[in-house]
Amino acid sequence: MDLPPFLLDHWLAKYQFASPPIAFDLAASTGPKWTVGELLSLGTETSRLDDVTVSYAPAEGSSALREEIGEFLGVDPDWVVVTTGASEALSVLLCLAARPGGNVVLPSPAFPAFEAMANVWGLGARHYNMAREGNYRQSARDVLAAADGETVLALVNTPHNPTGAIMSPDETGTLAAALAERRVPLIVDEVYHPLYFGARPPSAASMSNVLVIGDMSKALSLAGLRMGWIVDADPERRKKIIDARSYFTISSSPVLEALATHALRYRETLLARLQAVAEENLAALSEHMERVADILAWVKPAGGTVAFPWFRDGRDSRPFCEALAAKGVLVAPGDCFAMPDHMRVGFAVLKGDQFAEALSILEGTLREHLRE
């Protein structure tokens, strides 16, 4: 089949991998970057990769890595299957659930790969609307209303990309139980867990009828490891997941698994750095949004590293995003998420004065753009 153009990745690749790259990246959905040297310097013991055999790893991931992921999420490590990022995790689950006429229930707006990958596996997409008038709330009622007799999976993303909205544990539990009555599993995409700006709820990985997908790219700020996972308490379904992973990619790199295992041992250090940067920058972004409230509206994110403001007059954001990029500041136009009057703003990569300078350029460019 012909995949639709991946507009978000096209936009990011144009600027993030340019030479020289964009000066101020507010389009990234990750956190502050780490070097391998910085990771290996964490802790008091000497962490070495010299003795790692450059061969295959187990399809489900090494026992050491799965133990660390299990501790991170508070689940039995036997429930964990390692994947190549959350993208492979999603593709595996869609592949195994696919059947003629089947569909998957997805949020709108959403990360664009969700629907494209469902379509690749022959699944239709049904949507529940996360209305900005309702603060992008994800409710069990809306998800259930979108499902029908052909639904094979439902997905919630919390904290949500691109809005930063969250679904409470009580709401998630209610939804999972109601879907269980229909024999429909619930996928909870937790790539931003546990980055919240209020109470920190536990992972949904221990809930009945829930399959959690996650990775080390977002909340752990280690996108280059390409390390993700599926958590599933069902042993029979887990065997199928491991088989699918074997067919897809055979295994992860043992070198990357060793580095990921080490990083997870010091996850509180990684998470603390991201939390500090994100909270400081979110406060600055909130002040910025007050200054430009005559032009932009937004819903302040409750978690994650991105916000999704929109033009009050409904104009297409892409011309503005292009003008802003020309001045060295990158945000993602809303048409990448099928909502052209919006833009996605990442607030966790830049730190301190850099973030303040980027916001200053953004505000000045907004004023200029409206005068044109």
HSE-CB for 133 with a 13 A CA cutoff: 1
Domain with CATH 3.90.1150.10 in the chain: 7-36+268-371
Q: How far is residue 235's CA from residue 258's CA, in Å, rounded to a whole number?
A: 25
Which of 138, 283, 108, 279 lies closest to 204 in space, CA to CA? 138
In this predicted structure, what is the pLDDT of residue 372? 65
| Residue 211, both tokens | 């399959």
HSE-CB for 71 with a 13 A CA cutoff: 11
Domain 7-36+268-371 class, CATH top level:
alpha beta
User: Each residue's pLDDT tens digit in the chain (372 positions)?
Assistant: 778 999 999 999 999 998 888 999 999 999 999 999 999 999 766 567 888 989 999 999 999 999 999 999 999 999 999 999 999 999 999 999 999 999 999 999 999 999 999 999 999 999 999 988 889 999 999 999 999 999 999 999 999 999 999 999 999 999 999 999 999 999 999 999 999 999 999 999 999 999 999 999 999 999 999 999 999 999 999 999 999 999 999 999 999 999 999 999 999 999 999 999 999 999 999 999 999 999 999 999 999 999 999 999 999 999 999 999 999 999 999 999 999 999 999 999 999 999 999 999 999 999 998 876
Which of 18, 9, 10, 58 lies closest to 249 in space, CA to CA? 58
Sign of the torsion formed by the C-alpha atoms of 110, 206, 139 and 344: negative
Domain with CATH 3.40.640.10 in the chain: 51-265
Alpha-carbon distances of 341 from 127, 235, 298, 311, rounded to whole Å: 20, 45, 12, 6
Which of 157, 176, 101 lies closest to 303 in space, CA to CA? 157
Q: How far is residue 105's CA from residue 155's CA, in Å, rounded to a whole number?
A: 6
Which alpha helices (DSSP H) does the chain contain, by range? 7-16, 36-40, 63-73, 85-97, 113-120, 140-146, 169-181, 235-249, 254-265, 267-291, 318-326, 353-371
Instruction: Give the distance from CA 221 to its chain's centroid.
Output: 11
Residues in the chain: 372
Sequence-distant (6+) residues with CB within 8 A of 70 are 76, 77, 78, 79, 80
Its CATH architecture, for the domain 51-265, is: 3-Layer(aba) Sandwich (3.40)
Instruction: Please state the pTM of the whole predicted model.
Output: 0.95
Which of 270, 177, 256 lies closest to 224 in space, CA to CA? 256
DSSP summary character for residue 212: E
| Residue 124, both tokens | 């239709």
